[in-house]
Amino acid sequence: MLIIYGALGLGGIETFFVRLAKERFRNNKKTKILLLNPPELGGSNVDLFNEIIKYAEIYYFNDVFEKKFINWRFFLLHGLKKNNLEQMIRDCNQIHVTDAQSALLVNNILRKLDKKIPITVGMYHSLEFSWGGDKLPFFEKTNRDFIYKTLNSKNLMCFSQNTKDFVSNRTGYTIEDAKTFRLGVIDSAQECKYGFNSSKKIRMCAVGRLTDFKTYNFWMPNVIKELNINGYDICLDIYGDGNSEPIVRNAVKNASAYVTLYPPFNYSEFNVIVSKYDLFIGSGTAIIQAASLGIPSIIGIESINEPLTYGFFSDFYDCEYNLKSLDIRKIPVFDVLKGFVNSSFENKKVLSLEHYQAAKFFSISSCENSIEQGPYVVSDYFYFNKWIYTFSLILFRLKMKINRKNIYHEV
């Protein structure tokens, strides 16, 4: 199996790839990873990288691309090193990507080598494949033509039924044969570590990259401040960095008596650090890992500007819980936290166990088995104008930068 990705930053997809490579290694399966971000530019978390090289064979941008005076992000315009590509794809039963542009790169590689290998696409964030309305830029129309018209839907991986329905409803494409299974997060059975303290103060944390769509990091400091003003002794620690750090830092500044922003910690320290808290708020895979420790975890809906949530993860683990478009009633986070503080010790223990049990549905061994097993279908070669594609992509990114938006603001 070959995985193509940008860089191993500290995030949910990246930690999943580490777990996947480790699980495959246990099962005597070879994993190869092509990191598109040139290593001299950084971008990879040292802890994650040092872990994954134990289990996977790593290739870099310079291993497969000819050097050109073009930004690496527009990699479809770079020439390809045929001999190195031959070695990289040798013995691969599938080539896995997380976005359409990388899927097109695989198509170009296979065309150059005249090879036929199934291209599989993981829909780790449904908006990546369904943003926009009827008037899409050229590059995204090309993406949709390849993902939905050229690839067989058997090669698409959804990680909840909600994802499958959401993408189909928004794009109008039928993906009924897409594989549906839960993302692998939990390595193995572990003890429920939750030990709610009986003291008055409630300790809460959030962990992950500070990005534009994780808007709960923007308004949670004010929620915590309001709770304290109303007599509820609760503090919040936020661990992370990223492009939205200035916004989060400013929000924390206005609630500094109760909220602290810390730098990210090593991936291997997650369980030790998070198990010391009484509550967690987040999305993606971090909330699953927190739940696996028995930490009651509030769903941080992504791209929502109001301090609302669906509730606790244990009630909605079978949904794509981070989407704000779910047909589920949203409730104020303030009320959820107030209810938790006022609940009995026994009720807190029950909630802890419910989270611990819910996290078991996200087994890495079951997920790895689902990814490994097809049937997958090889597709015909896809032809498109890579120059017009790239020019369209550049214009779109400039527009998004000017408007300070991204595709995740939509839903």
pLDDT tens column, 368-381: 999 998 889 999 99
Residue 149 resides in a domain: yes
Q: How far apart are CA 362 and CA 267, in angstroms?
A: 18
**Contacts (Cβ under 8 Å, ≥6 apart) of 377:** 118, 151, 152, 154, 155
Strand order of the β-sheet with 279-282 is: 259-262, 234-239, 202-207, 279-282, 297-299
CATH number of the domain at 405, please: 3.40.50
DSSP per residue, 268-280: GGHHHHHTT-SEE
Quote the number of domains for the chain: 2
**Residue 191: is its pLDDT beyond 60?**
no
Q: How far apart are CA 327 and CA 46, in angstroms?
A: 40
What's the mean pLDDT in 132-157? 94
Strand order of the β-sheet with 32-35 is: 57-60, 32-35, 2-5, 95-97, 119-122, 156-158, 179-180
Band (pLDDT 50/70/90 cuts) for residue 21 is very high
Q: How far apart are CA 119 and CA 151, in angstroms?
A: 8
Q: What percent of the chain has pLDDT over 70?
A: 95
Residue 192 resides in a domain: no
Per DSSP, 257 falls in state: T
What's the mean pLDDT in 342-364? 92
Band (pLDDT 50/70/90 cuts) for residue 411 is very low
**Residue 41: is its pLDDT beyond 80?**
no
The whole-angstrom distance between residue 177's C-alpha and the CA centroid of its chain comes to 23
348 and 377: one domain?
Answer: no
259 and 303: one domain?
Answer: yes
Band (pLDDT 50/70/90 cuts) for residue 199 is low
The residue ranking higher by pLDDT, 60 or 400, is 60
Judged by phi (left if over 0) then psi (alpha if -120 to 50, else beta), residue 294 lies in left
Residue 358 resides in a domain: yes
The residue ranking higher by pLDDT, 406 or 285, is 285
Q: Which of 242, 248, 271 is nearest to 260 (CA)?
A: 248
217 and 144: one domain?
Answer: no
**Residue 99: is its pLDDT beyond 90?**
yes
What's the mean pLDDT in 326-348? 94
Q: How far apart are CA 217 and CA 250, in angstroms?
A: 11
Residue 46 resides in a domain: yes
- Per-chain mean pLDDT for the chain: 91
Q: What is the pLDDT of residue 153?
A: 95
134 and 233: one domain?
Answer: no
158 and 207: one domain?
Answer: no
Alpha-carbon separation of residue 279 from 94, 97, 178, 304, 354 (angstroms): 39, 33, 35, 21, 14
Residue with tokens 């303290």: 197
Band (pLDDT 50/70/90 cuts) for residue 325 is confident
Band (pLDDT 50/70/90 cuts) for residue 116 is very high
209 and 177: one domain?
Answer: no
261 and 404: one domain?
Answer: no
The whole-angstrom distance between residue 295's C-alpha and the CA centroid of its chain comes to 20
Alpha-carbon separation of residue 396 from 5, 127, 137, 138 (angstroms): 21, 16, 7, 10
Residue 191 resides in a domain: no
Question: Tens digits of per-residue pLDDT, 232-263?
Answer: 999 999 999 988 999 999 999 999 999 999 99
358 and 374: one domain?
Answer: no
133 and 151: one domain?
Answer: yes
And the tokens for 21?
């490579």
CATH number of the domain at 336, please: 3.40.50.2000
Integer distance in angstroms from the first to the last C-alpha of the chain? 33
Q: Which amino acid would we find at residue 63?
A: D
59 and 87: one domain?
Answer: yes
What's the mean pLDDT in 311-323? 91
- Three-state secondary structure of 90-125: CCCCCEEECCHHHHHHHHHHHHHHCCCCCEEEECCC
The C-alpha R_g of the chain, in whole angstroms, comes to: 22
Residue 190 resides in a domain: no
And the tokens for 189?
């059975």
299 and 326: one domain?
Answer: yes
The whole-angstrom distance between residue 187's C-alpha and the CA centroid of its chain comes to 17
What's the mean pLDDT in 120-135? 89
Q: Convert 147-164 to b/e letters by CB count within 10 Å (16 or more is b).
A: bbebbbbbbbbbbbebbb
Residue 121 resides in a domain: yes
Domain assignment of residue 305, given as a range: 202-362
* Least confident among 147-151, 197-201, 251-255: 197-201
156 and 273: one domain?
Answer: no
And the tokens for 307?
């301090």
Residue 197 resides in a domain: no
Q: How far apart are CA 217 and CA 237, in angstroms?
A: 10
Q: Omega before 264 cis (within 30°)?
A: no
